[in-house]
Amino acid sequence: MRTLRSLYTTAAAASMLAVALPASAQQLSIATGGTGGVYYPIGGGFAEMINNHIEGAQATAEVTGASVENMGLIMRGDADLALALADTVYQAYTGTGDFEGRQIENTRALASVYPNAVQLVTLAESDIETIADLEGKRVSVGAPGSGTELNARALLEANGISYEDFTPQRLNFNETADAIRDGDIDAGFWSVGPPTSSILNLAATRDIRLISLSDEEVANAQAEEEVFAPYELAAGMYDGMDEAVQTIGIPNVLVVNADMDEELAYQLTQLLFENTDELIAVHPAANDTTVEFTMDSTPVPLHPGALRYFEEVGAEIPDRLRP
């Protein structure tokens, strides 16, 4: 069954992508995250697509501290595109949560690319069976300025657990995996598109366990953050993972500054949806990159260039996505 992203023919897409861009738009920076997550390969894959398909444009994926930092880069014009978690994007756009007093009203979206899953990992030999068992433990809550920390804190606080109940460590994905492997911490959070390389590598060297959330814990998290949704990690996703694990998912949004050239935003959006197979070849998370997912999951208005693309392919665009 064909999706909306496949309505144009390859020839038509290639023709429209051949339009030359303004000189000011030729060098594009894509803010991603750490090398152990999904943002970096997805951003790198999209950069390669831009370089191969959009005449005159050259894009580079940049390693960053992920969602929170990325929104600041977009606001200041230090990045042209960025990947960020939907809750972080919404907080930045509305000036709430961690962005209280520093609202980023010029945030616009091109697409929602794929959902993250909050993954809480410990060693199989650990006595941690639930999030309540984190009390008194050493726990990585994600890199400073990352969406992982925002998600972990929201999940924990919604279920009556604060940083005072354990010893928080702010480590990136690779550092978290290394610290669990070496016994320097007891557990760690990832908010990332599964499967992720750092957990795969950890599971290949140590027996691990992913902590499942109860229905009540999921409901409590949803009450805290509207962008949270129930999400199931499939059995067998990582070595030794014999059963499915219930957790929460959060969309990842490709954002730009409202000042981006409309034609460039249009071409970038068209490129993403007309050549999605190229991104899937980089990481399977891109299987969720569909027009429908963007319409359902994007928390802030679309850039006018993106909006033009979605109108052309006949998408049903919610009013909340129109600037």
pLDDT for 222-275, tens place per residue? Answer: 898 888 888 889 899 999 999 999 999 899 999 999 999 999 999 999 999 999
Compare 119 and 9 and report the one with higher pLDDT.
Answer: 119
State whether 128 and 231 are in the same domain: yes
The enclosing domain of 72 has a CATH number of 3.40.190.10
State whether 68 and 180 are in the same domain: no
Number of structural domains (the chain) is 2
pLDDT for 8-45, tens place per residue? Answer: 333 334 334 444 454 444 799 999 998 888 899 999 99
State whether 237 and 267 are in the same domain: no
Cα–Cα distance for residue pair 110/43, rounded to 1 Å = 14
Other Cβ atoms less than 10 A from the Cβ of 287: the count is 14
What is the pLDDT at residue 163? 97
Instruction: Report whether pLDDT(58) > 70.
Output: yes
Cα–Cα distance for residue pair 294/291, rounded to 1 Å = 5
State whether 194 and 288 are in the same domain: no
What is the pLDDT at residue 229? 82
Cα–Cα distance for residue pair 166/157, rounded to 1 Å = 12
**End position of a domain, from candidates 230, 250, 270:** 250
State whether 241 and 297 are in the same domain: no
**End position of a domain, from candidates 195, 224, 250:** 250
What is the pLDDT at residue 131? 98
The band of 51, judged by pLDDT with boundaries at 50, 70 and 90, is very high
State whether 52 and 88 are in the same domain: yes
The band of 157, judged by pLDDT with boundaries at 50, 70 and 90, is very high
State whether 286 and 223 are in the same domain: no
State whether 181 and 121 are in the same domain: yes
State whether 120 and 207 are in the same domain: yes
State whether 107 and 137 are in the same domain: no
What is the pLDDT at residue 117? 92
Give which of 254, 255, 299 is closest to 97, Cα–Cα: 299
Record the tokens describing residue 5, joined without a space. Answer: 């992203």
Compare 12 and 319 and report the one with higher pLDDT.
Answer: 319
Cα-to-chain-centroid distance, residue 256: 14
pTM: 0.74
pLDDT for 179-216, tens place per residue? Answer: 999 999 999 999 988 888 999 999 999 999 999 999 99
DSSP letter for 236, please: T
pLDDT for 120-149, tens place per residue? Answer: 999 999 999 999 999 999 999 999 878 899
Share of the chain residues as helix, strand and coil, in percent rounded to the nearest 5: 45, 20, 35
- Could you tell me the residue range of the domain that residue 45 belongs to? 4-114+253-321
**Residue reference for tokens 């509207």:** 226
Instruction: Report whether pLDDT(4) > 60.
Output: no
Q: CB neighbours of 285 closer than 8 A, spacing ≥ 6?
A: 38, 42, 113, 114, 193, 194
Residue 250 · residue 151 · CB < 8 Å: yes
**End position of a domain, from candidates 250, 285, 309:** 250
State whether 37 and 137 are in the same domain: no
What is the pLDDT at residue 107? 96
Residue 118 · residue 245 · CB < 8 Å: no
pLDDT for 286-314, tens place per residue? Answer: 998 999 999 988 999 999 999 999 999 99
State whether 98 and 124 are in the same domain: no
pLDDT for 70-115, tens place per residue? Answer: 999 999 999 999 999 898 999 999 999 889 999 999 999 999 999 9
Cα dihedral 70, 73, 77, 78 sign: negative
What is the pLDDT at residue 8? 31
